[in-house]
Amino acid sequence: MSGDLVADVIAAAADRLGPDATAVLERLAGSLGDAARASARELARLDESARKQHRAQAAAIVRSPTLAAVRGVHPTWIEASLADLPARTRTALVGESAEPTDVWLARWATAMLPPMPPPSSRPTLSRDADLAQILARDPAQIAAWLTSIALDQFAFALGPAAAAAGTASPHAARALGDAAARITHAPRLDALGPQRAALERCRGAALDDDAALLGIAGRALAPHLADHPIARLRLTRRLPYAQGIVVERELVAHAATALDRAPTWAALVAP
């Protein structure tokens, strides 16, 4: 299998269509479509016996009510998904029951928990490769990356006034100063979008408010992930629920932002 569970399952299902599979897969847009077509090409290179085994594996994964498919999701998202479901759901998730009720409960609980790319996956698109590297970090490092995006936006929005910006925290002041310095160099220089757009993203936020900074980062990232809902889910579900839900809200709310009003992808993922 390619390492992208969703793409593998789509390709396995389409394989049964025979010659019509190509036309069906061509209708899938975005990164998911690219991944599904790549998986289908990989499947087509196998002999019939191997293809049959591949389809069986994909079907078994889809039917499985275990947590294997969402390994890498932060545990707080799993707890949040269980909050309003019967106690039996927890047992269904960690067990091997094939009872229809258990399978249905497990699927309901994990419906918004995406399969994470395994460390061995090799995405074909540069954006997906960057995201795979980011998702491989621990949640605290991912949150730190998002905070750095927000600080870049703050420093850019304030311009020369960034050095004199008041903050209740010396740590926040130092972090803003570091951001003000790094945005004067490539790949951030002249790549953070219009200053007015940065001001709009930062309006009402405080440097000392961690949640507000995550929200700013979500707004900056939103247009880049607008056509990639699986990536949005993967990013937010790697974070603790309280953080991820803030980022998700902004990713969805600002998905229609024009790309020319956002930082470039290279600026966003720069070290």
Average pLDDT over residues 11-15: 86
**Same domain flag for 161 and 181:** yes
154-190 pLDDT, tens digit each: 999 999 877 666 566 888 888 999 999 999 999 999 9
Rounded Cα distance, 41 and 57, in Å: 17
Residue 121 domain-assigned (yes or no):
no
What separation, in Å, do the N-terminal and C-terminal C-alpha atoms of the chain show?
Answer: 31
- Do 140 and 240 reside in the same domain of the chain? yes
- The CA distance from 150 to 216, in Å, is 5
Q: Are 35 and 7 in contact (CB under 8 A)?
A: yes
Q: How many domains in the chain?
A: 3
| Residues 219 and 232 placed together within one structural domain of the fold | yes
Residue 75's alpha-carbon distances to 139, 247, 253, in angstroms, are: 11, 17, 25
239 or 20: whose pLDDT is higher? 239
Question: Which residues neighbour 222 within 8 Å (Cβ) at sequence distance 6 or greater?
Answer: 250, 251, 252, 253, 254, 255, 257, 262
Flag whether 235 is in a domain.
Answer: yes
Interatomic CA distance for residues 271 and 267, integer angstroms: 9
> Looking at 63, 78, 104, which one is the last position of a domain?
63
Condensed to tens digits (0 to 9), the pLDDT of residues 24-36 reads: 899 888 777 888 8
User: CA-to-CA distance for 160 and 181, rounded, in angstroms?
Assistant: 11
Domain range for 237: 126-269
Report yes or no on 183 lying in a domain.
yes
Are 83 and 52 members of one domain?
no
**Is 131 in the same domain as 241?**
yes
Among the residue ranges 98-112, 121-135, 137-151, the one predicted with the least confidence is: 121-135
Q: Does 120 fall in a domain? A: no
d(CA 208, CA 185): 25
Rounded to the nearest angstrom, the gap between the alpha carbon of residue 219 and the centroid of all alpha carbons in its chain is: 14
Same domain, 254 and 159: yes
pTM exceeding 0.85: no
With cut-offs at 50, 70 and 90, classify the pLDDT of residue 39: confident
On the CB side of 236, CA atoms within 13 Å amount to 28
35: in domain: yes
Burial of 199 (0-12, 13-18, 19+ CB in 10 A): middle
Q: When comparing pLDDT for 153 and 172, which is higher?
A: 153
Q: Report the run of H or E that residue 140 belongs to, with start and end.
A: helix 139-158
Does residue 223 sit within a domain? yes
Same domain assignment for residues 109 and 76: yes
Two structure tokens written together for 5:
């569970």
Identify whether residues 146 and 263 lie together within a single domain. yes
The residue from 46, 63, 80 where one domain ends is 63
74-88 pLDDT, tens digit per residue, is 999 999 999 999 989
Q: Are residues 180 and 198 both part of a single domain?
A: yes
Q: Does residue 119 lie in a domain region?
A: no
The CA distance from 58 to 117, in Å, is 15
Q: Are residues 39 and 107 in the same domain?
A: no
Query: For tokens 């972090």, what's the residue?
Result: 175
Instruction: Flag whether pLDDT at 123 surpasses 90.
Output: no
Identify whether residues 144 and 249 lie together within a single domain. Answer: yes
In a domain, 118, yes or no: no
Q: What sign has the CA pseudo-torsion 229, 233, 234, 236?
A: positive
Same structural domain, 132 and 55: no
Residue type, 230: I
User: If 0-12 CB within 10 Å is exposed, 13-18 middle and 19+ buried, where does residue 217 land?
Assistant: buried
Distance CA 131, CA 110 (A): 21
| CA-to-CA separations, 148 to 30, 145, 154, 164, 182, in angstroms, rounded | 27, 5, 10, 19, 10
